[in-house]
Amino acid sequence: MLPEPNATALLLALLGILLGASVLSSRASEKTGVPAVLVFLFVGMLAGSNGVLNIAFEDYGLAFRVGTFSLVLILFDGGMNTPLKYVRPFWAPAVSLATVGVLVTAGVVAVGAQLLGLPWPLALLLGATVSSTDAAAVFSVLRGSGLSAQRRVSATLELESGLNDPLAVLLTLAFTTALTVGAADVSWPMLGLQVVKELVLGGVLGWLGGKGGVWVLTHVRLRASGLYPALTVAIAFLSFGMTSLAGGSGFLAAYVTALVVGNAELPYRSSVVRVHDALAWLSQIGMFLLLGLLVFPARLLEIAPLGLGVVAVLMFLARPAAVFVSLLPFRYPLRDGAFIAWGGLRGAVPIILATFPVLRGVEGAERLFDLTFFVVLVNVLITGGTVPWMLRKLDLEGDEPPPPHAVLEISSTQKLSGQLLSFFVEEELDVTGVPLSEIPFPEGSAVTLILRGEDLLVPKGHTMLLPGDHVYVATTHEDRPFVQLMFGRPEDA
């Protein structure tokens, strides 16, 4: 046995190898179109018991805890980056997908799996575990790959992935209980009431947690800027933990809290958002690496024929049916529904749910875990890799301006009387091609910097704004509406 210092050094070295390999491999995902989360899973599998490093790992309990920890940070980052104005028009269809859609998906997958030869108890359990889309996978594909989907479809998908965990969790727990203590001990009417309770408590306590978090962040003056993201992480964990202890959905609460916090004016806001972005990526890497380590590739080959059949049922029957039924009252165009059906990626959530039966000692649970993992693997590979093609095929690419190569910002612990706004200069703007000296800026506003390609330009009176420029305007809160009349919507709005 290695001495403790050497064992610690070896563990850190292995962690460094796995993290480094995951990050560097993500470059390949950008070129091939394979989602980064899939790369992280493959790295974990290659390092596992049947892989190159031969790391023996079968701690399902640790994987569950790390997965929960990671999902809270991923959901919080997603909420921090979602403007509330995109939530209001789409919350109703997202809730429908998160409830009716989950039930339809679970039912159709269960029937399909049973017809393919899986016993009814395990078929029902499989339907429950794969019934929800995954926030980590959806956020990674829609936000981390440089894609620009129309707001209607991207907002619906993102909101659904943040809302649909409670019902999937309860269904998995209910079927697991039915297999361990008997179906007679499961009260299905009570299960329905529990779903409503979790959603309501998750939403209400999440909103209250967000309001409380904003008050603390804006009234408590911290001496170091690095303490602010530490405080927002504390708010995320507190929202999840307290809501879960109260019987609500902690995941939903963390997401709602982040929506409230992310849409408030915070000290060091840009720095806080960047830290949470880094934490979300680190969480994704760690979570998918650990889940990859749990899997024995040899066992995946054994269940591949059944797994491919379940994938086909999920992607071409269950998910389209769930989307059609859920969105029917909202009259989504057919192409929007088709993309939402195709973009409902599975990911870490189904795999983590599949650890429940293993931890409870359900007979056949390890085979079910392998099957769930296989379904997720193939679903992400096919769906995640073809989302750009589907966007173009359905003509649903968004018209968002390209992000600037450099970002100018002001960080302050206090609320300032003015603000710095960035705008993308489009050809149809009245200010395009006009010297700055001839633009009627309000008294308290002025262009401070222009980013043109890779060049930083110092604005002069004779400088003209050209299409494709990113321009930074310093203005007061009172003059902001007038500035936006000239330049349009700010890039960070």
User: Would you say residue 413 lies in a domain?
Assistant: no
For position 436, which CATH number holds? 3.30.70.1450
Same domain? 386 vs 426:
no
Residues 384 and 436 both lie in one domain: no
Same domain, 341 and 376: yes
Q: At what angle do helices 269-293 and 4-32 cross, to 10 degrees?
A: 100
Please give the pLDDT value at position 96.
Answer: 94
The answer on 423 and 382 residing in a single domain is no
Residue at a domain's end among 333, 358, 393: 393
The pLDDT assigned to 315 comes to 95
Structure confidence by residue, pLDDT tens digits, 334-393: 999 999 999 888 888 899 999 999 998 888 899 999 999 999 999 988 887 788 788 888
Token digits of residue 337: 């529904």
Structure confidence at residue 35 (pLDDT):
72
**Residue 97 DSSP class:** I
Q: Which residues contact 403 (CB under 8 A, 6 or more apart)?
A: 491
* pLDDT tens digit sequence for 129-158: 999 998 878 877 776 555 667 888 888 998
Instruction: Please give the angle made by the CA atoms of 315, 321 and 325, to the nearest 5 degrees.
Output: 145
Structure confidence at residue 146 (pLDDT)? 57
pLDDT of residue 374: 94
Q: Is 492 inside a domain boundary?
A: no
**Sheet with 446-452, edge to edge strand ranges:** 418-424, 470-476, 446-452, 455-457
Residues 477 and 353 both lie in one domain: no
Residues 375 and 475 in one domain: no
In a domain, 406, yes or no: no
27: alpha, beta or left? (left if phi > 0; alpha if psi -120 to 50)? alpha
Which regions of the chain are under pLDDT 50?
1-2
| 309 in Cβ contact with 89 (< 8 Å) | no
pTM above 0.85, yes or no: no
Do 386 and 447 fall into the same domain? no
pLDDT score for 186: 58
Work out the angle at residue 81's Cα, subtended by the Cα atoms of residues 78 and 84, and round it to the nearest 5 degrees.
105
Are residues 201 and 293 both part of a single domain?
A: yes
Q: Do 436 and 388 share a structural domain? A: no
Q: Does 280 share its domain with 244?
A: yes
Same domain? For 62 and 144 the reply is: yes
Domain span at residue 142 reads 4-393
- Give dist(CA 267, CA 182) in Å, integer: 53
361: which residues sit within 8 A by CB, 6+ positions away? 180
- 404 is a domain residue: no
Evaluate whether residue 403 is within a structural domain.
Answer: no
Instruction: For residue 15, give the CATH number of its domain.
Output: 1.20.1530.20
Residue 175 and residue 305 share a domain: yes
Q: How many domains does the chain have?
A: 2
Handedness of CA 340, 345, 346, 348 (dihedral sign): negative
Give the closest residue to 206 by CA, choosing from 157, 240, 164: 240
User: Is position 400 within any domain?
Assistant: no
* 399 located within any domain: no
* Residue 401 included in any domain: no
Contact 135, 161 (CB under 8 A): yes
> Last residue of a domain, which of 378, 393, 408?
393
Check residue 57 and give its pLDDT: 79
Amino acid identity for residue 359 in this structure:
L
